[in-house]
């Protein structure tokens, strides 16, 4: 019980709620019908708001607008085909043409029978005139004249019969031509539907590719920002290491000055030589520690330089990924232009199909015109 109800509904193109559809053939309802056209107006306003947007969103909105117009054109053509080129419609037109041809044939047969009756009457009159030939020469001449007129009428009847047969043949050829045009129109309609389905699939694939490219671009930008932060941190550490190395150099200079003062004090005062040597040894120890710290600071500086080079390489890699992303965006734009060209070609095919339908209608009117005039 639920399956027919689900088959008679389709989601709204704006809000997604199920919209009941009519059981008869015709254009489906794409928007909600219980809110005074609010969904349709909102969808139209959204398209009008985005169609003038710069860049890819505006182009996508304009592409969807073209697709909606093509859907409307296909729906209109479908209704026209169902109304005028359906099997029932063609059979009705064939029946009408056959009825008109039959009427003309019946009229021709009636005229032929009348002419035959007149010919028979003329023959009877001629026989009587032959019997009365000696009595009424004038009546015989009149009978001959009537016989001649009857023959002319019979000839005209035969001509009318041949014309009726020719009209019937023309009607049959017109019916065959209408059937061929109907088959070609249905083929063109199916081809247009398939091309629209392919175009929709390609548009969905392009949407997925655009989403992937955008995600790749965001990832590349995030990597570039992370590499820039790492480079900034590496530069800060290098500056901090330079400050530490400068402080170590200053401490080394101070230690050297203290060592010189200690040597001078040892030369001046021999009594305190032992203490001066101890101070000198302590100064040498401090100097060695300062040298070791300076060596460690240089190693850390080299490591910071290597990290800075790695950060620069990461930034270059991110730049390359960003370039690749731009290339993919250009490829997507090219595919979008190709899709627009296909939409234009499909619109041209729809116009050709409409022209063919108009020509079919003109041919049908031309085929129906002569019997009506007669």
Integer Cα distance of 217 and 213 in angstroms: 6
pLDDT given at position 271 = 64
Whole-Å CA distances, 195 to 13, 30, 118, 134: 21, 21, 67, 90
pLDDT digits (tens, 9 = 90+) for 49-79: 887 778 887 887 788 778 778 877 877 787 7
Helix 56-84 × helix 38-51 angle, to 10°: 130
SS3 per-residue string spanning 18-47: EEECCCCCCCCCCCCCCCCCHHHHHHHHHH
98: its two tokens:
């056959």
DSSP 157-181: HHHHHHHHHHHHHHHHHHHHHHHHH
pLDDT given at position 15 = 92
Residue with tokens 């041809």: 101
pLDDT given at position 14 = 86
Instruction: Specify whether the CB–CB gap between 248 and 290 falls below 8 A.
Output: yes
pLDDT digits (tens, 9 = 90+) for 156-193: 878 877 887 787 787 788 778 767 877 887 787 888 77
Which residues of the chain fall short of a pLDDT of 50? 1-6, 371-374
316: its two tokens:
């270059």
Helix (H) or strand (E) holding 235: helix 137-268
- Sorted by sequence, the CB contacts under 8 Å of residue 328 that are 6+ apart come out as 209, 213, 216
- Sorted by sequence, the CB contacts under 8 Å of residue 239 that are 6+ apart come out as none
pLDDT given at position 243 = 77
pLDDT given at position 288 = 80
CB count, 10 Å around CB of 234?
A: 20
Whole-Å CA distances, 286 to 255, 259, 261, 274, 291: 7, 11, 15, 18, 9
User: Structure pTM?
Assistant: 0.27
Phi, psi of 253 (to 5 degrees): -60, -40
């Amino acid at each position: 019980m639920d399956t027919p109800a689900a088959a008679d509904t389709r989601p709204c193109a704006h809000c997604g709620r199920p919209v009941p559809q009519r059981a008869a053939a015709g254009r489906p309802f794409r928007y909600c019908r219980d809110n005074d056209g609010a969904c349709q107006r909102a969808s139209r306003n959204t398209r009008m708001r985005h169609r003038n947007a710069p860049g890819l969103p505006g182009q996508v909105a304009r592409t969807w607008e073209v697709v909606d117009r093509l859907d409307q054109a296909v729906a209109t053509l479908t209704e026209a085909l169902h109304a005028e080129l359906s099997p029932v419609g063609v059979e009705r037109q064939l029946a009408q043409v056959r009825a008109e041809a039959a009427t003309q044939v019946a009229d021709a047969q009636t005229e032929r029978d009348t002419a035959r009756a007149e010919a028979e009457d003329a023959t009877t009159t001629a026989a009587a005139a032959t019997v009365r030939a000696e009595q009424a020469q004038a009546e015989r001449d009149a009978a001959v004249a009537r016989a001649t007129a009857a023959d002319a009428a019979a000839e005209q009847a035969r001509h009318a019969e041949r014309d009726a047969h020719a009209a019937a043949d023309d009607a049959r050829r017109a019916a065959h031509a209408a059937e061929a045009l109907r088959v070609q129109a249905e083929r063109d309609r199916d081809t247009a539907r398939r091309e629209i389905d392919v175009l929709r699939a390609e548009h969905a694939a392009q949407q997925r590719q655009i989403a992937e490219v955008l995600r790749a671009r965001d990832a590349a930008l995030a990597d570039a920002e992370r590499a820039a932060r790492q480079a900034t941190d590496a530069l800060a550490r290098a500056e901090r290491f330079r400050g530490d190395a400068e402080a170590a150099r200053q401490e080394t200079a101070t230690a050297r000055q203290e060592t010189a003062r200690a040597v001078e004090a040892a030369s001046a005062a021999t009594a305190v030589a032992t203490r001066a040597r101890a101070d000198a040894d302590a100064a040498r120890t401090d100097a060695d520690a300062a040298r070791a710290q300076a060596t460690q600071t240089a190693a850390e500086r080299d490591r910071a330089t290597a990290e800075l080079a790695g950060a620069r390489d990461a930034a270059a890699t991110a730049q390359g990924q960003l370039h690749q992303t731009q290339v993919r965006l250009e490829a997507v734009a090219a595919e979008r232009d190709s899709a627009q060209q296909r939409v234009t070609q499909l619109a041209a095919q729809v116009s050709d199909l409409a022209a063919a339908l108009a020509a079919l209608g003109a041919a049908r009117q031309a085929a129906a015109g002569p019997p009506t005039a007669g």
